[in-house]
A and B are shown apart, each in its own frame.
Chain A
Amino acid sequence: MGDDSKSRRTVLKGVGAASAAGLTTSLAGCVSQNGESDVDGAENLGDEVPEIHFVAPTAGANPFRNELADIVADNWEDLGFDVDLEELEFNAHVDQVVVQQDFDASLLGWGGTPERIDPHTFIFDMHHSSTTGEGGRNTPGWESDEYDELAELQVTQVDEDERQQTVYEAQEMIAEAQPRTYIANEGGYEPYASSRITDINPTLGEGLNSFWNLTSVTPTDDDTVRFGYPSEIISLNPMQDLATPDRQFVRLLYDQLYRIGEDGMPTPWLATDDPVIEDDGMTYTVEIRDGHTFHDGEPVTVDDVEFTYNLYADSPTYSSLVEDIEEIETSGNEITFHLAEEYAPFVANVLGQVYIFPEHVWGDVAPEELVDYEDEDWIGSGPFEFVDWERQAELQLSAFDDHFEAPNADNLIRVPGADTAQLVNDLEAGQLDMVGAVPQPTAVNRVREDDDLDLSEFEAIGYAMIEYNTRREPFGDRHVRRALSYGVPKEEYVEFIRDGMGTVTHSTISEHNEFWHNPDVEEFYEDLDAARQELADGGYGWDDDGRLHYGEDQ
């Protein structure tokens, strides 16, 4: 760690002192230095604890987390670790950490799209021992039989209250073991032109990018809403690998049986009502809405729905999404799914994810051609119709007036920007009506002062986190992970580095995900004394230079 980061730290501390209220406890810990601590470690020392290879984003990839990484590395060095901080661009970072698993500690974010409001992703995918492989979600490689039982149990619990209890217990166990430091849910401010649009509806995890916002936003000066986002859509083909920004527009063109509602719970969409669940959660029967049509006027029938689910099963990219469905039956306007095994998140994660296709358009496409198939008009049955698209310039959609939830804007134009700063320029110049991204604090302040513009705040369910590679020593030891977690200044990160945007978290489930969040998990604020105590309890000790060693017996 160079002097540079120390001096920035000093500045941050200064800011902290100036407006100290509410932060004193967390900042108190960072004052103590090597050797000043009262904590005595093991008396007889073994080898030095190996250097921590800490992978973090570059300032270009994520300025906030880059700043945080410097401070964390400083704190860890204060605790007696040697830290080798490596800064990487996003793709290289993901590849090295998530795929190659070549790291000791890694600072990354995990996104919170609406389909992740159901706790399955955060509880099962990210922490179950079956997902520790290359590219798997359990990047820390953390394994616990006791935990696996809970993660597997919640999948089978169709009763929400019972499932909630299991999810609560799982969160407690994760918090105690700290395979990751759960740092903050990174909500923020997104700018829009209050003088030109109204009825914005930023929802949990997505802000202005949310489905509910894009259908409710109403232009007041003309009939068009212009939406800016800092990158281009890759494809509108729902059968391709889609990134989050793609999905956010694909779902405007295509409907699902259920949509994740504004409150995060699946609500009937093409379905008329909640599904009838029988056989202890092994059978789901859904009635399809009558009289709805695709954009080309053809009716949406139960046959289209059945066709779609079979198409997904044949698709090389998405077959895993519907792999739990063993058999499909239709009768009149009803479709029945028989599952191979119980799957509690079935409505949210399957019925809410599969886009219904028109059989008369997709019927002749072979499974291996699905990914490359270009339906020029992208005919779906969603609230918006495709008009035209020129890459890197604009995507034009228009309202599908025959939809049962027709949008308020007649036209929606999506403009891919060069970066967020440039999009804010466009917003100020009147060329855009809203921006689906969080600008830098200076731009946020400019927007605040502009009478034509306003900020919309949203909360996130995804989070910034530090993952520990438990496959390697000493990170397999929970004392070490817990000590390192005490070295992360979560409040400082939200208050000063992120300028107040977001909320501190201690659990894998965000406090904004109210039903599933357990508010009573063990909390880890920055506290270097507690960290030393944790290391001493684990049997570690310090030499005269303050360097951390294994105890002799370890």
Chain B
Amino acid sequence: MGLRAYVVRRCLQLVVTFWAFFTLLFVLFRMMPGDPTSMFIMDGMTPEQREQRIAELGLNEPLHVQYIEYVRQLLTGDFGQSFIYNDPVTSIIAVRFMNTIVLMATALIFAYIIGITFGALMGWWRDSRFERGGIVVTLVARSSPEFWVGIVLLSVFVFWLGWFPSSGMRTTGGELGGGFVARYGSLDFLRHLFLPALTGAIAYLATPTLLMRSTMLDVLNADFIEIKKAEGLPERTVLYKHAARNSILPIVTVAAIATGTAMGGSVVIETVFNWPGMGREMVSAVNNNDYPLAMAAFFLMGSVVIIMNFVADLAYVYLDPRVEYE
């Protein structure tokens, strides 16, 4: 099958996947107990006020009517109004999503740069002290819960050394809002970013390191490495140009999927460091029965996973000509 036919077929699959995905989301959220007025009842909302609110939100309509309305909105790129905030969902999510991307992208980039480098070296220096020590460190990092790593970092860098702020994205009391550069370009922001990003990097580090090491070991056993060595090429050239490059393929898939899930934010990191990202917003939207906001958040996150998988499939073909389209 040719590339074009393959891409077309994958695109069609994509459409079906998306349909199944958002329908499932709709059904799941409507099956959840409670409704968006539940959180106000104990604060004094009367039964009359409650009915009035339910009618305003259109939740007294039959389910299929609500579903059709939901699909219609989605197709026009409109996620609707948040039930709780009374603001357009898009404007709420845009900011949160950006905050999460900046945090998680930083964490992932560090994790993968460090992970790939160390994994390659661990494979190269097999049976050395470096490899054995590296495996121990990696496994410890992998098995440490994120909240624990976060609290340890807080204890050391905040409570003991006092080098970094304990939470948030910037020092309170300053100018709010501003453009991308004003928000994410300042030194103050970077100081706030450091600890949560480091926590994320430690959590994501193990997978690329261990994967890189084990594929390196396979590749190093291959004949062509011996030949390259026999050709008298410098060790560094063999390591980076031939061995490491050939080992990187599985990393691409893993990285793509990790990126997808990371974009949903890490509830744990965002909670420990009070980072105003997607993860926490999703949790609070679910707790408040704020269906439009929760569904939009899950939709966005799921979409990134679906699309990154798609990208990984295509990237495979590009990176390794032996992979065929089927």
Residues of A within 8 A of B (CB): 88-92, 94-96, 98-99, 108-111, 113, 121, 133-136, 224, 226, 231-232, 234-235, 237, 240-244, 316-317, 320, 371-372, 388-394, 396, 411, 413, 415, 417-419, 422, 425-426, 428-429, 431
In contact, B288 and A91 (Cβ under 8 angstroms): yes
In the bound assembly, the distance between CA atoms of A444 and B159 in angstroms comes to 17
In contact, B43 and A413 (Cβ under 8 angstroms): no
In contact, A415 and B38 (Cβ under 8 angstroms): no
In contact, B177 and A417 (Cβ under 8 angstroms): no
Please tell me if B305 contacts chain A, counting CB pairs below 8 Å.
no
In the bound assembly, the distance between CA atoms of A413 and B176 in angstroms comes to 12
Among B38, B52, B85, B272, which residue has its beta carbon within 8 angstroms of that of A99?
B38
Interface flags, B136-170, vs A, CB<8A=1, else 0 = 00000000000000000010001100000111111
In the bound assembly, the distance between CA atoms of A121 and B274 in angstroms comes to 36
* Chain B minimum-CB-distance residue to A395: B176
In contact, B84 and A234 (Cβ under 8 angstroms): yes
In the bound assembly, the distance between CA atoms of A96 and B32 in angstroms comes to 11
Contacts of B44 in A (CB 8 A): 113, 121
Interface flags, B30-50, vs A, CB<8A=1, else 0 = 001111011111111111111
> Quick one: given A99-B41, A243-B40, A390-B177, are A415 and B270 in contact (CB under 8 Å)?
no
In contact, A413 and B41 (Cβ under 8 angstroms): no
In contact, A234 and B49 (Cβ under 8 angstroms): no
* Chain B minimum-CB-distance residue to A100: B33
In the bound assembly, the distance between CA atoms of A308 and B96 in angstroms comes to 36
Please tell me if B289 contacts chain A, counting CB pairs below 8 Å.
yes
Interface flags, B157-196, vs A, CB<8A=1, else 0 = 0110000011111101101110000000000000000000
Contacts of B167 in A (CB 8 A): 417-418, 422, 425-426, 429, 431
In contact, A393 and B169 (Cβ under 8 angstroms): yes
Query: What's the nearest-Cβ distance from chain A to residue B200, in Å?
Result: 15
In contact, B42 and A108 (Cβ under 8 angstroms): yes
In the bound assembly, the distance between CA atoms of A428 and B167 in angstroms comes to 12
In contact, A91 and B287 (Cβ under 8 angstroms): yes
> Quick one: given A95-B35, A418-B280, A429-B165, are A135 and B47 in contact (CB under 8 Å)?
yes
Q: SS class of chain B's interface: helix, strand, loop or mixed?
A: loop
Query: What's the nearest-Cβ distance from chain B to residue A350, in Å?
Result: 14
In contact, B271 and A418 (Cβ under 8 angstroms): yes
Please tell me if B292 contacts chain A, counting CB pairs below 8 Å.
no
In contact, B176 and A389 (Cβ under 8 angstroms): yes
In contact, B48 and A320 (Cβ under 8 angstroms): yes
Task: Please name 19 pairs of A and B residues whose Cβ atoms are closer than 8 Å in the assembled complex, sorted by A.
Answer: A89-B287, A90-B287, A91-B39, A91-B289, A121-B44, A224-B173, A234-B84, A241-B49, A242-B40, A242-B43, A388-B175, A389-B176, A391-B85, A413-B172, A413-B173, A418-B167, A418-B271, A418-B272, A429-B165
Query: What's the nearest-Cβ distance from chain B to residue A55, in Å?
Result: 11
Contacts of A121 in B (CB 8 A): 44
In contact, A317 and B49 (Cβ under 8 angstroms): yes
In contact, A243 and B274 (Cβ under 8 angstroms): no
Using a Cβ–Cβ cut-off of 8 Å, how many residues does chain B contribute to the interface with A?
53
Contacts of A88 in B (CB 8 A): 33
> Quick one: given A94-B38, A235-B86, A429-B159, are A418 and B47 in contact (CB under 8 Å)?
no
Interface flags, B54-72, vs A, CB<8A=1, else 0 = 0010000000000000000
Contacts of A224 in B (CB 8 A): 173
In the bound assembly, the distance between CA atoms of A392 and B170 in angstroms comes to 12
Please tell me if B119 contacts chain A, counting CB pairs below 8 Å.
no
In contact, A320 and B176 (Cβ under 8 angstroms): no
* Chain A minimum-CB-distance residue to B165: A431
Contacts of B284 in A (CB 8 A): 231-232
In contact, B176 and A390 (Cβ under 8 angstroms): yes
Among A240, A243, A392, A429, which residue has its beta carbon within 8 angstroms of that of B39?
A243
In contact, A92 and B43 (Cβ under 8 angstroms): no
In the bound assembly, the distance between CA atoms of A111 and B43 in angstroms comes to 7
Please tell me if B53 contacts chain A, counting CB pairs below 8 Å.
yes
Query: What's the nearest-Cβ distance from chain A to residue B30, in Å?
Result: 13
In contact, B41 and A94 (Cβ under 8 angstroms): yes
Please tell me if B264 contacts chain A, counting CB pairs below 8 Å.
no
* Chain B minimum-CB-distance residue to A371: B86
Query: What's the nearest-Cβ distance from chain A to residue B39, in Å?
Result: 6
In the bound assembly, the distance between CA atoms of A99 and B280 in angstroms comes to 27
Query: What's the nearest-Cβ distance from chain A to residue B68, in Å?
Result: 24
- Supply 7 further A-B pairs (C-beta < 8 A) apart from A91-B288, A92-B38, A99-B38: A89-B287, A96-B33, A98-B42, A226-B173, A388-B177, A394-B173, A429-B166
Contacts of B260 in A (CB 8 A): none
In the bound assembly, the distance between CA atoms of A388 and B175 in angstroms comes to 8
In contact, B34 and A241 (Cβ under 8 angstroms): no
In contact, A91 and B274 (Cβ under 8 angstroms): no
In the bound assembly, the distance between CA atoms of A417 and B274 in angstroms comes to 6
* Chain A minimum-CB-distance residue to B40: A241
* Chain B minimum-CB-distance residue to A394: B172
Please tell me if B251 contacts chain A, counting CB pairs below 8 Å.
no
Query: What's the nearest-Cβ distance from chain A to residue B134, in Å?
Result: 32
In the bound assembly, the distance between CA atoms of A316 and B177 in angstroms comes to 33
Query: What's the nearest-Cβ distance from chain A to residue B158, in Å?
Result: 5
Contacts of B33 in A (CB 8 A): 88, 91-92, 95-96
In the bound assembly, the distance between CA atoms of A321 and B44 in angstroms comes to 11
Contacts of B47 in A (CB 8 A): 133-136
Contacts of A415 in B (CB 8 A): 168, 172, 274
Please tell me if B98 contacts chain A, counting CB pairs below 8 Å.
no
In the bound assembly, the distance between CA atoms of A134 and B84 in angstroms comes to 21
In contact, A388 and B176 (Cβ under 8 angstroms): yes
In the bound assembly, the distance between CA atoms of A434 and B256 in angstroms comes to 43
Which of A88, A235, A371, A418 has the most CB atoms of chain B within a 10 A radius of its CB? A418
Among A110, A372, A393, A419, which residue has its beta carbon within 8 angstroms of that of B168?
A393
In contact, B46 and A431 (Cβ under 8 angstroms): no
> Quick one: given A391-B92, A418-B272, A431-B166, are A110 and B42 in contact (CB under 8 Å)?
yes
In contact, A95 and B34 (Cβ under 8 angstroms): yes
Query: What's the nearest-Cβ distance from chain B to residue A103, in Å?
Result: 13
Contacts of B288 in A (CB 8 A): 91
Query: What's the nearest-Cβ distance from chain A to residue B265, in Å?
Result: 12
In the bound assembly, the distance between CA atoms of A90 and B49 in angstroms comes to 20
Contacts of B173 in A (CB 8 A): 224, 226, 394, 396, 411, 413
In contact, A94 and B42 (Cβ under 8 angstroms): yes
Please tell me if B276 contacts chain A, counting CB pairs below 8 Å.
yes
In the bound assembly, the distance between CA atoms of A247 and B92 in angstroms comes to 22
Contacts of B166 in A (CB 8 A): 425-426, 428-429, 431
Query: What's the nearest-Cβ distance from chain A to residue B175, in Å?
Result: 8
Query: What's the nearest-Cβ distance from chain A to residue B33, in Å?
Result: 4
Question: Nearest 9 A-B pairs (CB), nearest first?
Answer: A392-B276, A91-B34, A429-B166, A92-B33, A95-B34, A91-B38, A135-B47, A418-B271, A388-B176
In contact, A243 and B43 (Cβ under 8 angstroms): yes
Contacts of B39 in A (CB 8 A): 90-91, 94, 243
In contact, A92 and B34 (Cβ under 8 angstroms): yes
* Chain B minimum-CB-distance residue to A244: B43
In contact, B281 and A392 (Cβ under 8 angstroms): yes
Query: What's the nearest-Cβ distance from chain A to residue B170, in Å?
Result: 8
Contacts of B41 in A (CB 8 A): 94, 98-99, 135
Interface flags, B285-320, vs A, CB<8A=1, else 0 = 001110000000000000000000000000000000
Query: What's the nearest-Cβ distance from chain B to residue A399, in Å?
Result: 14
In contact, B38 and A95 (Cβ under 8 angstroms): yes
Query: What's the nearest-Cβ distance from chain B to residue A46, in Å?
Result: 35
In contact, B86 and A393 (Cβ under 8 angstroms): no
In the bound assembly, the distance between CA atoms of A422 and B147 in angstroms comes to 11
Contacts of B154 in A (CB 8 A): 425
Query: What's the nearest-Cβ distance from chain B to residue A132, in Å?
Result: 10
In contact, B274 and A226 (Cβ under 8 angstroms): no
Contacts of A95 in B (CB 8 A): 33-35, 38
